[in-house]
A and B are shown apart, each in its own frame.
Chain A
């Protein structure tokens, strides 16, 4: 029963998002054609009323909103969002071209923030209470209060502009002439360092804080005292008992952080001019590219919902107490 309820709520959220996804961009003043007509400082097309009408016709923007909505819903089921207005290519292709870059930096950031956050949290808890723990705790608090775009700019100015350790922008050197695959891999890695680092720093603090607090809590439990009394060494206690028991609530947090990282990528990709979906989203909003916005929002929503669903499913398997609760509930 409760499982069914859970799926229902996911379904309702998805439905709600699908509807919102259609209407929200259209609440912005101005449409794609107006953006094209605007043109910016370097100049605009001299758009005649006839050309404007042709454009509206071509992108089905002169259909009634009802018709557009029906087309949009159909598109969702066939995975065909239509033609991106600013890119003049199928939305699916446009997104697929950029998705790998976002996955790369978000993946790297997820990996590093988990490893660093958890290890530091554990270390901090182990040394609790001490000066080391305290200073770690305070510096992490500071880090967590810096917004990602600011962090990105600081890193950009210091590491790329002043020190010239890393490239300023982009995901790879344009038209790199290299002999081997190693050079291109290094090139891509070199470009990914700063964006991934920004995202990592932005999300490591929350993981650290939770890990530390959980570990401190577990550390005060009586079974830890008992194992200590049994003569088990401190290292084994930390790794085998504390880490394992503290890790449970972290699964949820890690999954929430992953969706947070995806959102963070919008800001970070803009700062580093990194060609991922985050930057694409920003451009799509400015250009009022409705089809592209639909595709991107849906992709992000699905990503977050699936992650949450995954967390919901995996958690009972990790924590038997919850599994029991659920079972009891079903019996009652």
Chain B
């Protein structure tokens, strides 16, 4: 009796969610210059079906730690969790679910043909947590406020020229140039804050009044223990997007997440260790693999290094590494070898025809000999001594060292802690760098960002020195291209260039796994392209809500 009712509820949820997202996908296939989104009939039916059958859950406890006070200015920007806590309280114009971008505070939008103007129709009757009405003024105010006091997370506000209020429920965004990732990576990330509260605040980072947490979101912060890193969120009963299924959402710090799950102290956690997943699944827990994988482990070459500046050497190194072996040994799961063109192989933007570097020791040795790095009597190429710097991927680096030894290359490993690592990156003090991070599964604009030299952190690995006019030109073209097919072509070309030049070598992708107790809550799902700017995680508010429309 119980299982079928859950099944029905789930089905309704899926229907509702897919229905409303099919509405949003209308925006992309524009025909007569501008196309608007609206919820269709199927969605309404799904909504009616969903109502009444949705089963509420009293409390779900998720493993977490202290990621700061969840106001848009005070959450911790190291790692995605600060942003995710904040996203429970504050809403954005668009959001993402398992099928892609969906309407959120904006119920529909129109895009001009040149991609320079976005007109958003806002949801009617949305109330802030303190009872005030949400209007277009708040949207205009938010984007202006962030110009003075930057938002704590990604979202390139500089792309917006101005935001204009048409009436209480309509806003127009004027862009500096057309910007393809606008819906997913800009208005889908930057939260709207209430004007009536923040207009008086001049020190937003230190602002700790309870008004700092007045949003429109599905949750309100009920308790926060900074010392222990615990959060308790209570459902907002008047949430505009539908009924909140999980009435209380707690984030509980656990020193060992698996043990805490087994002891019933928490109901969900994530891991990157496949062995843990197997143990837990055998114990009756359910697991979800992040799709797309989301994280990337990659090697970046210092292109200013006298030897590594030769792309043939970089290619020889690529041939010498058995990346499938590293992948399967480290993650314990099916290997997922990186694409030489960087975009993960499970991404819709992946170019299948890109040059790849299969493990081929002979080929590697041939190139190395050709380059004049001759082996001595001990089988070591004297002229080639390289170092590999890493901060968190120690295991991988040791395997790489062993593999390169077979090709006669001596590798010196340098392990640094996170801060020291970033400094060395910034000062270009390395030969090769091994880093693992997320961000490769969202909008493909990341290719431009990584290699544009604008970033100051490990995402870029100082791609500044990627001295290729052609790459940067295409990278800018794809950013401004509003036509999806044309954009695909550009992205394909970018991958070709990257695969040939190899400024970075994607070793493999390491999926994250979500483990949860299905008896407590079983609606967890992957988000299309990752939450916000591609977080391969599951704390997406949309799955905690019985979405209307």
Contacts and interface: CB of A to CB of B under 8 A. Distances in A.
Interface of A: 28-32, 34-49, 51-52, 54, 58, 83, 86-90, 94, 97-98, 101, 161, 164, 167-172, 174-175, 272-273, 275-276, 286-288
Contacts of A168: 254-256, 259-260, 263, 265
Given A29-B416, A29-B420, A168-B256, A45 B230 contact: no
Given A37-B457, A44-B459, A174-B230, A83 B206 contact: yes
B79 A43 contact: yes
B438 A42 contact: yes
Interface of B: 61, 68-69, 73-74, 76-81, 150, 153-154, 205-206, 208, 223, 225-230, 232, 250, 252-256, 259-260, 263, 265, 272, 295, 391-392, 416-424, 426, 436-439, 449, 454-459, 533, 535, 537
A45 B76 CA distance: 10
Contact of A42 (B80, B229, B418, B457): B80
B340 to A, nearest CB: 23
Contacts of A43: 79-80, 295, 437-439, 535
Given A38-B422, A174-B252, A174-B253, 9 more contacts: A37-B422, A38-B78, A39-B458, A86-B68, A88-B69, A88-B76, A168-B255, A169-B255, A174-B232
B422 A41 contact: no
12 contacts: A29-B423, A30-B417, A32-B419, A38-B419, A46-B533, A47-B457, A51-B150, A52-B456, A88-B206, A94-B226, A169-B256, A170-B255
Given A35-B419, A40-B418, A164-B263, A88 B74 contact: yes
A121 B459 CA distance: 59
B79 A34 contact: no
A80 B272 CA distance: 41
B535 A288 contact: no
B255 A42 contact: no
A40 B226 contact: no
Nearest to B152: A45
Given A88-B69, A174-B61, A44 B437 contact: yes
Contacts of B535: 42-43
Given A29-B420, A42-B438, A44-B458, A174 B228 contact: yes
Given A34-B423, A46-B154, A41 B255 contact: no
B260 A46 contact: no
Given A47-B457, A169-B253, A34 B154 contact: no
A167 B436 CA distance: 33
B188 to A, nearest CB: 15
Nearest to A46: B154
Given A36-B78, A89-B206, A45 B457 contact: yes
A28 B230 contact: no
Contact of A30 (B206, B252, B419): B419
Given A28-B420, A30-B423, A97-B227, A88 B253 contact: no
A98 B226 CA distance: 9
Nearest to A94: B226
Given A38-B457, A88-B68, A168-B255, A286 B437 contact: no
Contact of A31 (B252, B259, B419): B419
A101 B250 contact: no
Contact of A44 (B206, B416, B454, B457): B457
A90 B295 CA distance: 35
Contacts of B228: 170-172, 174, 275
A41 B449 CA distance: 19
B260 to A, nearest CB: 7
A273 B457 contact: no
A34 B422 contact: yes
A41 B392 contact: yes
B318 to A, nearest CB: 23
A43 B420 CA distance: 17
Nearest to B71: A88
A95 to B, nearest CB: 10
Contact of A34 (B81, B252, B426, B436): B426
A273 B205 CA distance: 27
Most buried by B among A30, A97, A276: A30
Contacts of B417: 30, 286
Nearest to A271: B255
Contacts of B424: 29
Contact of A275 (B74, B229, B419, B422): B229
Task: List 6 tightest A-B contacts by C-beta distance, closest first.
Answer: A30-B419, A37-B457, A38-B418, A34-B422, A43-B438, A169-B255
Contacts of B459: 44, 46
A30 B420 contact: yes
Given A48-B455, A89-B206, A275-B228, A40 B439 contact: no
B447 to A, nearest CB: 13
B78 to A, nearest CB: 5
Given A30-B420, A174-B230, A41 B259 contact: no
Given A29-B416, A38-B419, A164-B263, A175 B295 contact: no
A273 B392 contact: no
**Residue among B225, B232, B535 having the largest count of chain A Cβ atoms under 10 Å:** B225
Nearest to B75: A88
B69 A34 contact: no
A37 B154 contact: no
Contact of A41 (B153, B295, B416): B295
A286 to B, nearest CB: 7
A161 B78 contact: no
Contacts of A286: 417-419
Given A38-B422, A41-B436, A47 B78 contact: no
Given A88-B69, A273-B255, A45 B454 contact: no
A164 B254 CA distance: 15
A28 B260 CA distance: 35
A44 B423 CA distance: 15
Contact of A89 (B69, B153, B537): B69
B449 A46 contact: yes
A98 B437 contact: no
